């Protein structure tokens, strides 16, 4: 059977399945219930699953009675989840054959009690199928674990949704290490919107739980830290050494000790008292006492348990709102360790299986780091880096051009290289008529085709080119490993960009909708907008802000300057960032704070209360860098084609 026949058969089978599904009242693309369209709130499941909290409490109570050390690792799961791409249950996803997930990062090796989370989720699915997210399971489990350990029963807002991604490197980058001092800890907490008070209060979570030898090796080798209480450090050394050598493996359950050696299983303020007595276990604990910025709070919480409990509750709820997915973002997983397939996708999988039997092809959907190292072109990334770097060094404008091209590709049909196809195609759409840098992609493609014909996709070349552009434009301060294995799309329509790409005059509501359609959150939207730190815009893109009247949110002096650069009838280009136009940095956000955002879609991020706080947070370079890296990884995964889907084009400008 030829390709046309197979496609016809696919359409016929799909139509039959959809017809049968409708006749059986199967909801293929269910409308999101009203309760999912609202932000976090305390009674989120009041109507959809009123027994949710009771189920979580019952299971946590059962396992706390079986083993009173269980509350600590259950609480810790929530902390480790929220600090890495937000409270989205990404820490629960299992690794695949191609992607190493967060739970397998070295810093997460000692996480446990996943089986308890799975049991809670199973009971919730039985009571209220596909309703309570794994992210909310983690939040509720942490709340009840604290209570089971003797702490307050904190209220917590609910309504989180589950992420679709999980990357081990993100954990290593974003989780606070045990060896950090206060400056390092503050930077780490600031990256997720938490402050000094939150740092000290949340560190009080170490009032329960256990540590391992590897986490304190810097404090006992080669000499015992003098800040330890006399005898305590020596005792730890004795437990961790065997004939003078650190016991192996470092995470052996037999080589661990309670964070709080006094009231080990009780959630109280003894942790802070311990710090004052030289019984702080980790460097990060001891630093709270020895640093003048945090000493006062340690003393306050040691003296007044009620104040500690109150502040811990405030900071805990604040942490629980980090980069949450809500509404229609992400999904509600059926099993917390694996992503769920939508009903319609499940049907398509069934169709695909039938097509395999009848001569069609199957699709495998995962990206992986260093894909080409084991897929026929081990030098691919080096070749692409060389070509793109040379092109940017020759013409700095290539960096923002390639970065923008990657954005425009991913937002339309996914990151499949469809934007590269020559007319008639996406290139013809008005938003894409100012794209440039295609010749750089052509040169990179020529280089890899010469080395490994028919192996490296144009979609991957574009994703790598964007990352290289960011690295060079940020002076090497923002970089990440690009997962590869994308394949090239077979469709490129001029009608699509107008539908999916955000317009320069969009307000926050429109921007949020466009990004949500692509599966991206509001924090990711604000972070990715920082790409406007480099590049230019034509006068026509912001003419609405200058005429017939000047936009009142424009800085008057800035507006006057723009009028000089854009006289009537001209369509000149103006730098998106007037302060550091060729450097990718946080100054884009400080410009917004000063009402110097060039496009409407830029300035509204500051004027809209729903995003202004994110603008402030990203005004710190380290915060912006971390958020931008994470958001670029997420964007680069939008609707990718992998396995045998699509094709590997021989020429990026035309289909094979």
94: three-class secondary structure by DSSP: coil
CA dist 180 and 188 (Å) reads: 9
pLDDT at 28: 35
Please answer whether residues 502 and 412 qualify as being in contact, where contact means their C-beta atoms are separated by less than 8 angstroms: no
Q: What residues contact residue 408 under an 8 Å CB cut-off, 6+ apart? A: 419, 426, 431, 432, 435, 497, 501
Question: Which residue has 């030898």 as its token pair?
Answer: 213
Angle at 597 between CA 591 and CA 599, to 5 degrees: 160
Provide mean pLDDT across the span 479-493: 93
Q: Is residue 544 predicted with pLDDT exceeding 70?
A: yes
> Is 212 designated active site?
no
The answer to whether residue 140 scores a pLDDT higher than 90 is yes
pLDDT per position as a tens digit, 419-434: 999 998 999 999 999 9
Top-confidence residue, 175 or 360: 175
Nearest alpha carbon to residue 131 among 225, 228, 44, 7 = 44
**Which phi and psi angles does 240 have, rounded to 5°?**
-95, -10
Per-residue confidence at 249, pLDDT binned at 50, 70, 90? very low
- Average confidence (pLDDT) over 287-306: 96
Q: What is the pLDDT of residue 245?
A: 56
Summarised one tens digit per residue, pLDDT across range 554-594 is 999 999 999 999 998 888 999 999 999 999 999 999 999 99
Decide if 192 contacts 624 (C-beta within 8 A).
Answer: no
Q: Tell me the mean pLDDT in the region 646-650.
A: 95
> Quick check: pTM over 0.75?
no
As given in the structure block, the two tokens for residue 559 are 């507006």
Query: Which pLDDT score is estimated for 29?
Result: 34
Cα separation, 4 vs 6, whole angstroms = 5
Measured distance CA(120)–CA(122) in Å, rounded: 5
pLDDT, residue 22, reads: 42
What is the average pLDDT across 187-201? 94
State residue 193's pLDDT score: 92
Catalytic residue among 80, 406, 408, 532: 408
**pLDDT at residue 257 is higher than 90:** no
Express as a percent the part of the chain with pLDDT over 70: 88
Average pLDDT over all residues of the chain: 88
Q: What confidence score (pLDDT) does residue 18 get?
A: 45
Query: Is the pLDDT at 354 greater than 80, yes or no?
Result: no
Lowest mean pLDDT among 197-201, 358-362, 575-579, 605-609: 358-362
**pLDDT at residue number 317:** 96
Eight-class DSSP state of 162: B
Mean of pLDDT values over 34-59: 84
The pLDDT score that the predictor gives to residue 355 is 43
- Res 33 pLDDT > 60: no
Check pLDDT > 90 for residue 35: no
Q: What percent of the chain has pLDDT over 90?
A: 72
pLDDT tier, 213 (very low <50, low <70, confident <90, very high otherwise): confident
pLDDT at 153 over 60: yes
Indicate the SS3 state at residue 422. Answer: coil
pLDDT for the residue 214: 80
Q: Give me the residues paired with residue 139 across strands.
A: none
């Amino acid at each position: 059977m030829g390709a046309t026949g197979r496609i016809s058969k696919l359409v016929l089978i799909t139509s039959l399945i959809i017809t049968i599904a409708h006749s059986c009242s199967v909801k293929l693309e269910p409308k999101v219930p009203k309760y999912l369209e609202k932000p976090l709130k305390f009674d989120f499941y009041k109507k959809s699953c009123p027994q949710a909290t009771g189920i979580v409490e019952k299971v946590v109570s059962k396992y706390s009675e079986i083993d009173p050390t269980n509350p600590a690792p259950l609480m810790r799961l929530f902390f480790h989840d929220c600090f890495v791409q937000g409270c989205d249950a990404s820490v629960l996803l299992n690794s695949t054959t191609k992607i190493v997930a967060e739970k397998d990062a070295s810093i997460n090796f000692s996480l446990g009690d996943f089986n308890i989370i799975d049991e809670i989720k199973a009971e919730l699915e039985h009571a209220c199928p596909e309703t309570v997210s794994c992210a909310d399971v983690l939040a509720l489990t942490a709340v009840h674990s604290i209570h089971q350990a003797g702490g307050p029963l904190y209220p917590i807002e609910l309504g989180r949704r589950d992420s679709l991604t999980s990357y081990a490197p993100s954990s290593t980058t974003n989780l606070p290490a045990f060896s950090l001092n206060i400056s390092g800890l503050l930077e780490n907490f600031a990256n997720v919107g938490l402050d000094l008070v939150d740092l000290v209060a949340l560190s009080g979570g170490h009032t329960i739980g256990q540590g391992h030898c590897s986490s304190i090796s810097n404090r006992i080798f080669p000499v015992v830290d003098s800040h330890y209480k006399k005898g305590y450090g020596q005792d730890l050394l004795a437990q961790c050494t065997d004939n003078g050598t650190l016991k192996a493996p470092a995470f052996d359950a037999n080589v661990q000790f309670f964070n709080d050696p006094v009231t080990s299983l009780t959630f109280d303020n003894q942790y802070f008292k311990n710090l004052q007595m030289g019984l702080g276990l980790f460097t990060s604990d001891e630093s709270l006492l020895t640093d003048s910025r945090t000493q006062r709070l340690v003393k306050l919480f040691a003296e007044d348990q009620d104040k500690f409990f109150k502040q811990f509750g405030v900071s805990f709820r604040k942490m629980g709102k980090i980069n949450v997915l809500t509404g229609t973002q992400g999904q509600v997983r059926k099993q917390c360790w694996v992503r769920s397939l939508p009903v319609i996708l499940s049907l398509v999988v069934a169709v695909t299986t039938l097509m395999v039997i009848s001569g069609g092809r199957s699709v495998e959907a995962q990206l992986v780091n260093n894909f080409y190292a084991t897929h026929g072109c081990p030098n691919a990334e080096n070749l692409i880096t060389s070509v793109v770097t040379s092109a940017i060094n020759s013409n700095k404008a290539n960096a923002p051009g390639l970065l923008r091209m990657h954005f425009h590709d991913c937002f339309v049909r996914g990151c499949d290289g469809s934007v590269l196809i020559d007319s008639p195609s996406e290139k013809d759409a008005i938003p894409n008529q100012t794209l440039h840098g295609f010749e750089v992609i052509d040169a990179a493609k020529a280089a890899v085709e010469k080395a490994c014909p028919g192996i490296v996709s144009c979609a991957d070349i574009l994703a790598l080119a964007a990352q290289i552009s960011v690295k060079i434009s940020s002076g090497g301060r923002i970089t990440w490993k690009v997962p590869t294995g994308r394949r090239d799309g077979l469709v490129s329509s001029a009608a699509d960009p107008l539908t999916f790409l955000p317009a320069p005059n969009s307000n926050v509501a429109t921007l949020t909708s466009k990004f949500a359609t692509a599966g991206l959150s509001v924090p990711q939207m604000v972070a990715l907008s920082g790409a406007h730190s480099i590049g230019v815009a034509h006068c026509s893109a912001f003419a609405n802000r200058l005429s017939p009247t000047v936009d009142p949110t424009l800085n008057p002096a800035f507006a006057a300057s723009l009028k000089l650069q854009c006289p009537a009838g001209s369509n000149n280009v103006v730098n998106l960032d007037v302060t550091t136009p060729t450097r990718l940095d946080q100054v884009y956000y400080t410009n917004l704070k000063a009402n110097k955002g060039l496009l409407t879609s830029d300035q509204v991020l500051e004027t809209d209360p729903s995003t202004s706080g994110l603008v402030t947070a990203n005004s710190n370079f380290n915060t912006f860098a971390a958020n931008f890296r994470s958001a670029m990884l997420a964007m680069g995964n939008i609707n990718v084609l992998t396995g045998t889907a699509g094709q590997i084009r021989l020429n990026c400008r035309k289909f094979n």
